[in-house]
């Protein structure tokens, strides 16, 4: 019986040499650290050093999140990854009417430089790499981070980390957008230019397929639509006058790792190969670093279950192994209780320990590319590559990623696949342990971590005090200059930084841009 992969590609029971008939290892495989980077972006990969171990964390107040970060650092995490609450992600202050009921719930509430100081208090920002999952207001949070670092005496050129800053996938799968596509792309180009001049070691964007996968995208759809977004960002920067080799080395990507190990390994290999070719052949990149698809991976939250949550420890381990064998540069492992609530201290520590066991107690870091030459994996890599290129071609036929988004193409394709998965699960074709097979008659009780609803009032009080002590005229003048820059062609990040340094809030800065650029209203399905 032939089984289909998550991308709908048949998986043969046995693969042999005939699976790679006419296959040229020199062009399809190459060496690790060399074009087309199928085997990895660095020659030594994990034999030199393991991947960066990140844990995505943030909840409640900045003080609570700061305590969690310090615990993770003490337990051996090598990179921080900040989760912001929905009001922050949407550019609203905690006391805004639209923020009611959501403050601190799915991440930390950051309203101003005062909150950012608390969030990173006692953490030397020249010694950690920080990733921030923030998109439409990415520039705002990056500048707050820079300002706090400067207060610590850390120059911007020593800061390392990543802002997600990928607004196109918000229109496709996630929904935390603010501005329409055109000004959003202009803002991203301004960030590219600003970081090249001011924060040169910062990764200016993390082009994300993870959220598309969580919305139901297949592995082929995840890669195709992510790389299509990446092409749109490169075109935007080039059109803004930047040379591709001036910004492309700081581009990074963000993917999911599912429990289907072989297909995930093949997916990552195919993604590297396609991106290298696009950058060299379509954009004329000359610097090998511009052709490297460097990526962060998060294990698949959508595959975790509230039923028998301890089983998620097994799922996360398998997913993490797929990411490592696929050659990820950094990794976040989900906590086993995330299908129920925010992770507890213990579950977050167990998730980190999962990575540490893989890195230090297995032999997956002993050799550069364990699956190179595998008949099954190399054949699956070629088949996923073909499926990805077909989908990317359809996006191009519609005029590129933005035009396809405006037609609802990617969203519609993902929703169709999500419906198929739901049907297969409901019908029993897709077996999910503890959900439609191997259930318990009664689930064991579990006490989740809960966010104190009083946080909303506490944040509102902090904002009230902030507005009382700051120089209001200085804030107003800086916001006026920000609006003027947004209306013209000047880089908006410079007046934005001045406004934030004066005590302007995340909501006030976002509102200033809303005044000029408006807000995005989604289209109907394709």
Per-residue pLDDT reduced to its tens digit, 177-188 = 999 999 999 999
- Within 10 A of 239 (CB to CB), how many other CB atoms are there? 10
| CB within 8 Å of 257: residues ≥ 6 apart | 264, 297, 298, 299, 300, 319, 320, 322, 323, 326, 328
Beta bridge partners of 57: 82
Reported as a single tens digit per residue, the pLDDT across 329-338 is 999 999 999 9
Q: 62-74 vs 345-361: helix axis angle to the nearest 10? A: 30
Q: What is residue 21's predicted lDDT score, i.e. its pLDDT? A: 87
Cβ atoms of 211 and 167 within 8 Å: the answer is no
SS3 81: strand
Cα distance between residue 426 and residue 420, in whole Å: 10
Is the pLDDT confidence value at 244 over 60?
Answer: yes
Reported as a single tens digit per residue, the pLDDT across 341-395 is 888 889 999 999 999 999 999 999 999 999 999 999 999 999 999 999 999 999 9
Q: Where are the domains of the chain?
A: 3-45+76-427, 470-517
Point out the least confidently predicted range of 86-100, 151-165, 235-249, 330-344.
330-344
What one-character DSSP code corresponds to residue 445? P
**Exposure class string for 35-63: b at 16+ Cβ within 10 A, else e:** bbbbbbbbeebbeeebbbbbbbbbbbbbe
SS3 162: strand
Strands 79-83 and 52-57: parallel
Percent of the chain with pLDDT over 90: 91
Q: What is residue 526's predicted lDDT score, i.e. its pLDDT? A: 43
Cα distance between residue 113 and residue 118, in whole Å: 9
Cβ atoms of 392 and 224 within 8 Å: the answer is yes
Cα distance between residue 294 and residue 43, in whole Å: 13
**First-to-last C-alpha distance (Å) of the chain:** 36
Q: How far does Cα 55 stand from its chain's mean position? A: 12
What secondary structure does DSSP assign to 208-274, as a single string?
E-HHHHHTT--HHHHHHHHHHHHHHHHHHHHHTT--HHHHGGGEEEEEEE-S-HHHHHHHHHHHHHH
Q: What is residue 1's predicted lDDT score, i.e. its pLDDT? A: 61
Is the pLDDT confidence value at 148 over 50?
Answer: yes
| CB within 8 Å of 92: residues ≥ 6 apart | 98, 99, 506, 507, 510
SS3 2: coil
Strands 129-133 and 79-83: parallel
Cα distance between residue 487 and residue 503, in whole Å: 23
Q: What's the predicted TM-score (pTM) here?
A: 0.95
Point out the least confidently predicted range of 18-32, 91-105, 297-311, 456-470.
18-32
Residues in the chain: 526
**Exposure class string for 270-284: b at 16+ Cβ within 10 A, else e:** bbbbbbbbbbbeebe
Strands 251-257 and 205-208: parallel
Q: What is residue 524's predicted lDDT score, i.e. its pLDDT? A: 60
What one-character DSSP code corresponds to residue 486? H
Q: Span 165-187, mean pLDDT?
A: 96
Beta bridge partners of 401: none
Cis peptide before 412 (omega within 30 of 0): no
What secondary structure does DSSP assign to 125-155, as a single string?
TTS-EEEEE--TTHHHHHHHHHHHHHHTT--
Dihedral angle sign, alpha carbons of residues 484, 485, 486, 489? positive
pLDDT mean across residues, the chain: 95
164: left (phi over 0), alpha (psi -120 to 50) or beta: alpha
**Exposure class string for 103-112: b at 16+ Cβ within 10 A, else e:** bbbebbbbbb
Q: pLDDT band at residue 490, thresholds of 50, 70 and 90?
A: very high
Reported as a single tens digit per residue, the pLDDT across 254-293 is 999 999 999 999 999 999 999 999 999 999 999 999 999 9
What one-character DSSP code corresponds to residue 45? G
Cα distance between residue 88 and residue 108, in whole Å: 8
Beta bridge partners of 139: none
| CB within 8 Å of 132: residues ≥ 6 apart | 81, 82, 84, 138, 141, 142, 145, 161, 162, 163, 164
SS3 253: strand
- The CATH class given to the 3-45+76-427 domain equals alpha beta
Q: Which residue has the higher pLDDT, 356 or 59?
A: 356
Q: 506-517 vs 493-501: helix axis angle to the nearest 10? A: 150
Q: Span 438-464, mean pLDDT?
A: 89
Q: How far does Cα 195 stand from its chain's mean position? A: 19
Rg from Cα positions in the chain: 23
Is the pLDDT confidence value at 513 over 90?
Answer: yes
Q: What is residue 56's predicted lDDT score, i.e. its pLDDT? A: 85
């Amino acid at each position: 019986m032939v089984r289909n992969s998550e991308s709908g590609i048949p998986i043969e029971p046995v693969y042999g040499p005939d699976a790679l008939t006419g296959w040229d290892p020199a062009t399809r495989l190459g060496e690790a650290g060399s074009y087309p980077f199928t085997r990895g972006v660095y020659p030594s990969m994990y034999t030199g050093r393991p991947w960066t171990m990140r844990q995505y964390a943030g909840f409640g107040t900045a003080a609570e999140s700061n305590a969690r970060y310090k615990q993770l650092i003490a337990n051996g995490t090598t990179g921080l990854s900040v989760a912001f609450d929905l009001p922050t992600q949407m550019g609203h202050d905690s006391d805004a009417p639209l923020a009611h009921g959501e403050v601190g719930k799915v991440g930390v509430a950051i309203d101003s430089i005062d909150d950012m100081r608390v969030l990173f208090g006692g953490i030397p920002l020249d010694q950690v790499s920080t990733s921030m999952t923030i998109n439409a207001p990415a520039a705002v949070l990056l500048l707050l981070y820079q300002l706090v670092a400067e207060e610590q005496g850390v120059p911007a050129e020593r800061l390392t980390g990543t802002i997600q800053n990928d607004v196109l996938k918000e229109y496709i799968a996630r929904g935390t957008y603010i501005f329409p596509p055109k000004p959003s792309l202009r803002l991203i180009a301004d960030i590219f230019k600003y970081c090249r001049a001011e924060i040169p070691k910062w990764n200016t964007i993390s082009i994300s397929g993870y959220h598309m996968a969580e919305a139901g995208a297949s592995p082929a759809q995840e890669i195709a639509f992510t790389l299509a977004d990446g092409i749109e960002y490169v075109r935007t920067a080039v059109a803004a006058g930047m040379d591709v080799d001036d910004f492309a080395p700081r581009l990074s990507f963000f993917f999911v790792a599912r429990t289907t190990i072989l297909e995930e390994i093949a997916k990552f290999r195919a993604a590297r190969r396609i991106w290298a070719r696009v950058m060299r052949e379509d954009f004329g990149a000359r610097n090998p670093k511009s052709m490297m698809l460097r990526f962060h991976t998060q294990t698949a939250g959508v595959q975790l279950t509230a039923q028998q949550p301890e089983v998620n420890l097994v799922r996360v381990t398998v997913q993490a192994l797929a990411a490592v064998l696929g050659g990820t540069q950094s990794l976040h492992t989900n906590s086993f209780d995330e299908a129920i609530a925010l992770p507890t201290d213990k579950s977050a520590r167990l998730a980190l320990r999962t990575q540490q066991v893989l890195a230090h107690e297995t032999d997956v870091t002993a050799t550069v590319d364990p699956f190179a030459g595998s008949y099954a994996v190399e054949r699956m890599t070629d088949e996923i590559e073909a499926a990805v290129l077909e989908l990317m071609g359809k996006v191009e036929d519609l005029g590129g990623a933005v035009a396809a988004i405006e037609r609802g193409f990617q969203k519609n394709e993902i929703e169709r696949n999500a419906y198929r998965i739901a049907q297969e699960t409901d019908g029993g074709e897709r077996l999910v342990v503890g959900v439609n097979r191997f259930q318990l008659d009664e689930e064991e009780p579990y006490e989740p971590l809960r966010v104190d609803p009083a946080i909303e009032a506490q944040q509102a009080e902090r904002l009230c005090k902030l507005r009382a002590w700051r120089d209001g005229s200085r804030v107003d003048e800086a916001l006026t200059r920000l609006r003027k820059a947004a209306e013209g062609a000047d880089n908006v990040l410079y007046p934005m930084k001045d406004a934030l340094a004066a005590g302007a809030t995340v909501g006030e800065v976002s509102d200033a841009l809303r005044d000029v650029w408006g807000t995005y209203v989604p289209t109907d399905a394709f």
